[in-house]
Structures are given as C-alpha cells and as structure tokens.
Amino acid sequence: MINTIEQYEKLVNLTLSKLNNTVFPYSTTENIHLNLIIVNKFFIDQLLKEKNNEFLIEIIHKLTSNLFLFFLYGYKYISTIVFNYFYNNKIKGYDIDIKFEILEHFYNKRYENLLNKTFNINSISRQLEIIMEILYKYGRDINIFKYCVNKINQNKLYLYNKYYRMPLHFPLNILNEYLSSITLPNNYILNCEDKKLQNFINTVCSDSIIMYFENYNNINLNKYIENDFVTRYDIDVNKNYNFKVSVNNIDYSKFPNIDNYMICIKEYGEYSPSIFTKFETKINLINIINTNKNKIKYYKYNNKFEKKNIKNLNFVKKYLNDKKEIENILNNPNYLLTLNIEISIMEKIIISYCYIISLIHNECSSFIIITLLKNIINT
C-alpha cells in the first residue's frame, strides 16, 4: 500500500525503468509489480496530480481503467453520470475481474460487502471459479487465503486446478494444514528415490501433472514444473529423476459434499467454463453513493445503432454546429451531462469524446482523462 510521497516516487521510478521480474502466478513480464499495488485514497490523490503521462498510461494499462473508474467514483472524484457514461460493461462473462471488491473488502474497508454480494449472486460453479481466482492472484495475504478456505468450507466445495492443488504462496507445512479440508486427494501417487521431492509433488501437484511422469526414467523436472515457482521449496528441477506412478484407487463418491464438486465439473467440463459470472458491483456502488437518486437525470439510449451520417445526428446538428453551444461544451465539461435529450449509442460515444476534449481544454487531471479515454477505446 502506498502511504507516503517517497513510496509513490519509488513506484514511479521503478515503473519507468520497465523492470522485468516474476511474481507467482503471473508470467515474466515488464512491471509485474504493478499487479501487487493496493489502491487507496492516497495513491489515487497522487495519480490525480501526476504529470508523467508515460507512467499513467502504463499503470492504467496494467491495473485496468475500469478499476480506476471504480475508485474515482468511490472517492467521489467523478459523478454518477460520468461513471455511467464511461463504465465499460463489456467484460466477458468468463473473465473474473473483482480486484476492486477485494481491495475494498480486505484493505480499504469502505464497501466491504461488495465482494460477498458478488459471490452470493453466482451459481455454485462460478463461486468455485471466483474462489480459485482470488486464491491464485491474491492469496499471498493470509487473511485472503483464510477467507477463501472459509468460503470453500461454508459452501461445501472442493478446490480444483489443472496443475497445482493449491497456489504455491506458503510453506509446505501450511499447505498441508489446509489441503485435506479444501481439496480432494489425488487419484495417482508418485514414487521417487528422492522422498522430499516425492512428498512435494504428491502434496502440491494435481493428477494431471503426476500422470505425465508415469513410467518415465531419468526425467528432468524442468520440462514440467516451472523453476521460479518451486525453488523456494528447495526443489532442484534441473536434476534428473526416476519416477513410478501408482493408482490411489480413491472412491470419490464417499466424500462428503462430492455432489457440489460434480456439479462444477458437469457445468464447466474440466477446463472450460460454459456459463457467465454475474457482476452487480456497479449497481451496488451507485446505490450506496447516489443517495439523491431523484436529482440524477439518466439519459435514455436508443438500443438500435444508427447508421446515419454523423452530421445528421440530432446532437451534432443542435450542439456541434452552434458556436455558442461549442463554447459551453468547452468551458464546462459537465454542461454536456446536463442536457435533457434522448441520444443514440453513436451520440453517446460522441458526447463522451466531447466531454474528454472539454476536460483537456480545462486542464483537468491527466489521470482522469486517460482513464476515461481508455474506457471508451475498450468499449
């Protein structure tokens, strides 16, 4: 969490240096450290004053403009109308983007219930997907880790992953402490002359990985297990090993709550989700912040895309062909958002760009401008 000017300046310098690094479970890439940022009000306030557009573009790209739009609205730097205009609701249903909910629940503690609401409105299959997303991306925090464990137990689920039974965030003794309560045992057992390695693989790896080793001799683990992720466990993946795999003969039908697990597998297949995750955070946040609902005028959108020439659109004819109206738009960004007119989808896009132009004309925060512009581009 960034709480001082010195910390913020170090982050800017580190980001502009385009450092390459690896942080599990993310791949090696530039500025991967930005995924670890805990966004708070101090950080948003510094971004609002930031003049280095290269840094702003990089951080908005890494953390997503929708995330920052939530924070700008949550801290009341933008209005409900602006939030509605620029929020990008075209997130694919199988993408789980809940960073805002996580940061609010565990760190900022303003809108703590948003995460639970997202979890509760989804089917049991999607609940499992949400838990796995949280564990693998945010589970280094022991409080988040325990939250996921509790959710698994409360909802009578079992964790499933193609490669690792559990994210490799903690020492092996902690993983062992929780594995039996949140995962099913493997159906295959690996035997090896190196008992430390044998214990490690049988503990953390899934059947999918163990099956690769069946009847292999003199095998190099580097082909199957990423070295950067297991060196912390003092495992030498560059050494050659001899393996033998045996069947564990597990009768999964005897495990409690196995029906929930089978529902998840049936709905998704083993790897490919077939239904969408539901998100209502935008609506829930507006209901919390926008207390004077009757004073907010929402635009009505014509859902049918207009293919007319842009010059023939009502908004263009009435406002962009009138010098006085153009002056009003340029001098006051919010003037656009108070117009009592019905607009089409195309006109909504044009008004959004005009709003950004007005922000630029009035030398408003580059952070807000880039965030809003990025959301239009991604729409």
Determine, yes or no, domain membership for 15: no
- 329 and 191, same structural domain? no
Spell out the long-range contacts of 147-153 with Cβ–Cβ below 8 A and sequence spacing 24 or more. Answer: 147/106, 149/178, 149/181, 149/182, 151/119, 151/127, 152/181, 152/182, 153/181, 153/182
Most confident of 12-16, 121-125, 217-221: 12-16
Q: What is the pLDDT of residues 129-176, one digit of tens each?
A: 889 889 888 888 999 999 999 999 988 888 877 778 888 888 888 888
Query: Do 321 and 361 lie in a common domain?
Result: yes
* Helical pair 5-16 and 41-49, crossing angle rounded to 10 deg: 60
Q: According to the model, what pLDDT value does residue 295 have? A: 43
272 and 127, same structural domain?
A: yes
Share of the chain above pLDDT 90, in %: 29
Q: Is the peptide bond before 333 cis (omega within 30 degrees of 0)?
A: no
Give the strand pairing for 240-241 and 219-220: antiparallel
Statement: residue 227 has pLDDT above 90: no
| Domain that residue 239 falls in | 187-249
Distance CA 161, CA 311 (A): 54
The model's pLDDT over 178-201, given as tens digits with 9 standing for 90+, comes to: 888 888 888 899 988 889 888 888
Q: Is residue 14 part of a domain?
A: no
* 98 within domain boundaries: no
Q: Regarding predicted confidence, which is higher, 60 or 303?
A: 60
How many structural domains are present in the chain?
3
12 lies in a domain? no
- For residue 146, the model assigns a pLDDT of 92
- 253 CA to centre of own chain: 34
Q: Tokens 């589970």 map to which residue? A: 139
Q: Which residue has the tokens 């199957």?
A: 224
Do 192 and 257 fall within a single domain?
Answer: no
Say if 350 falls within a structural domain: yes
370 and 223 belong to one structural domain: no
Are 157 and 209 in a shared domain?
no
Alpha carbon 291 to its chain centroid, in Å, reads: 28
Residues 267 and 134 in one domain: yes
- Domain-embedded: residue 128: yes
Strands (E), the chain: 20-21, 29-30, 188-192, 219-220, 240-241, 243-247, 301-302, 343-344
Q: What is the pLDDT of residue 169?
A: 84
Do 260 and 157 belong together in one domain? Answer: yes
pLDDT digits (tens, 9 = 90+) for 333-376: 999 888 877 777 788 889 999 999 999 999 999 999 999 999 88
Question: For residue 233, what pLDDT is reported?
Answer: 81
